[in-house]
Amino acid sequence: MEMMNVKQLTKKYGSTNVLKGINLTIYQGEVFGFVGHNGAGKSTLIHILTDIVNKSGGSFEILGIPDQHMNQVKKRVGVMPDISNLYENMKGIDFLRYMGELSLANSSKEYYLSLMRDVGLEGAEWKKIKSYSFGMKKKISIAQALLGNPELIILDEPTSGLDPESAIEIRNMITELQKSGKTIFLTSHNLDEIEKICDRVGILSEGVIKKLGTPRELKIAANESKEAIGLIIRTKPVLTADHISQISDDLDINISFLHTKKDYTFLKVTSEDGLPQLSKKIMESGILLYEVKMEEQSLEEVFMNTKEE
Ligand SMILES: Nc1ncnc2c1ncn2[C@@H]1O[C@H](COP(=O)(O)OP(=O)(O)OP(=O)(O)O)[C@@H](O)[C@H]1O
């Protein structure tokens, strides 16, 4: 089921085209990671989708409802507010109740307390938000996004600025939300995080989504477009440059020897097609072959290359 469908969405600020035609479909139950450099337009897209900012052109649907009627879906979509929009003089629990009562009917105090516990704010319920640390403010913003048990949850940089332990807590929470059937759209600058928790990722660059797919698909596509692939081979004894030149003589691929480290030999090859033949040759030469693996591009490299393309 499509939870969000964005078509040719554009946004202009004055003469600057920030979004130049975004096309994107988000499916039920996925965690989707939206990445882009600072100022790429990620928050702008979120603000349009959540009816805070007007689009310039194009259209979108959320939960099947067209963008002209976003008031009909507001209760079914949870959005994490910017922490500067929290009411600092309120106690955490009172803030959540206040925000909850704006949209929900008859939710008990126990509901709000359990929500605070869920986001890791146990013990801070009766403290004023102004006494909260940065991480705690992030957590209460996330709690606000979860009010009313929404189907689609939109989180703008939920873990930025958090210490590793708190970031792990939030990531685990996102995974749990997904397990309970929620759909999550999040932005993050942490590509390791994106890789860990997102099913699909979209890279926003120059106003359009330049790359879209699972983290693995993006890395494989990046490897395929490279002229040479890094190869790591573990053998006993370790392969030397001489071994490689003997073995590779009658192979169809070009192999360059780079260096060795312990039992590992690092090579560059022009194509993966000759790898089975290479492995066979190594074994035939009496060398014990333990492992052959291709060096994968990291999502970070994929992202950096997207910017340069
Ligand atoms: N209200 C506004 N008026 C004019 N320009 C704006 C406005 N809001 C955002 N912009 C510009 O639009 C561009 C995209 O900003 P946006 O905040 O969406 O980027 P972002 O990808 O979320 O960045 P970051 O990763 O730094 O949060 C930036 O150049 C920003 O200066």
Please indicate, yes or no, if residue 135 is contained in any of the structural domains: yes
Separation of alpha carbons 24 and 19, rounded Å: 13
Same domain, 292 and 147: no
Tokens of 258: 């780079």
Question: Which atom of ligand 1 is the closest one to the Cα of 36?
Answer: 21
- pLDDT digits over 75-127, tens only? 899 999 778 788 999 999 999 999 988 877 668 889 999 999 988 899 999 99
Ligand 1 atom nearest 44 alpha carbon: 18
307 is a domain residue:
no
- Is 67's pLDDT higher than 70? yes
Q: Whose CA is nearest to atom 24 of ligand 1?
A: 38
Instruction: Report, as an integer, the average pLDDT of 20-49.
Output: 96
Q: How far is CA 195 from CA 188, 189, 303, in A?
A: 11, 11, 12
Residue 229 neighbours by CB distance under 10 Å: 19
Supply the pLDDT for residue 7.
Answer: 98
Domain boundary among 213, 246, 268: 213
Residue 90 lies in a domain: yes
Instruction: Measure 39 CA to ligand 1 centroid, in angstroms.
Output: 5
Mean per-residue pLDDT, 289-309: 83
99 lies in the same domain as 238 = no
Same domain, 49 and 188: yes
Residue 228 or 68, more confident: 68
pLDDT score of 106: 67
* DSSP 8-state code for residue 231: E
Select from 213, 239, 261 the last residue of a domain.
213
Contacts 24+ apart (CB under 8 A), 258-264: 262/238, 263/234, 263/235, 263/236, 263/238, 263/290, 264/232, 264/233, 264/234, 264/238
Q: Does residue 221 fall inside a structural domain? A: no
List pLDDT tens digits, range 118-168: 888 999 999 999 999 998 999 999 999 999 899 999 999 999 988 898 899
Check residue 185 and give left, alpha or beta (phi > 0: left; psi -120 to 50: alpha): beta
Domain CATH number, residue 257: 3.30.70.1650
Per-residue model confidence (pLDDT) at position 308: 64
Q: Return the pLDDT at 161.
A: 86
The reply to whether 83 and 145 lie within a common domain is yes
pLDDT of residue 107: 80
> Do residue 166 and residue 196 come from a single domain?
yes
Ligand 1 pocket residues where CB is under 6 Å: 13, 18, 36, 38-44
**pLDDT tens readout for residues 212-239:** 999 999 988 877 777 778 899 999 999 9
> Residue 156: inside a domain, yes or no?
yes
**ipTM score of complex:** 0.96
Q: Let me know whether 87 and 231 are in one domain.
A: no
Determine the distance separating the centroid of ligand 1 and the alpha carbon of 44, expressed in angstroms.
Answer: 6
Q: Which atom of ligand 1 is nearest to the CA of 14?
A: 4
**Is 170 in the same domain as 282?**
no
Which of 187, 213, 239 marks a domain boundary?
Answer: 213
User: pLDDT band at 295, cuts 50/70/90?
Assistant: confident
* Cα–Cα distance list, 238 to 125, 269, 272, 279, 294 (Å): 60, 18, 21, 14, 17
CATH number at residue 133: 3.40.50.300
- Ligand 1: which of 19, 42, 155 to mutate, most ligand atoms within 8 Å of CB? 42
**92, 172: one domain:** yes
- Considering the domain architecture, whether residues 109 and 193 belong to the same structural domain is answered as yes
Q: Are residues 181 and 270 in the same domain?
A: no
Domain count, the chain: 2
- pLDDT band at 309; cut points 50, 70, 90: low
Do 172 and 145 share a structural domain? Answer: yes
The CA 54 to ligand 1 mean position distance, Å, reads 14
Same-domain check for residues 107 and 188: yes
The torsion angles phi and psi of 148, rounded to 5 degrees, stand at: 80, 10
Q: What is the pLDDT of residue 247?
A: 82
Residue 13 inside a domain? The answer is yes
The overall pTM is greater than 0.95 = no
Atom 3 of ligand 1, nearest CA residue: 13
For residue 66, give its domain range.
Answer: 2-213
Rg (CA), the chain: 25
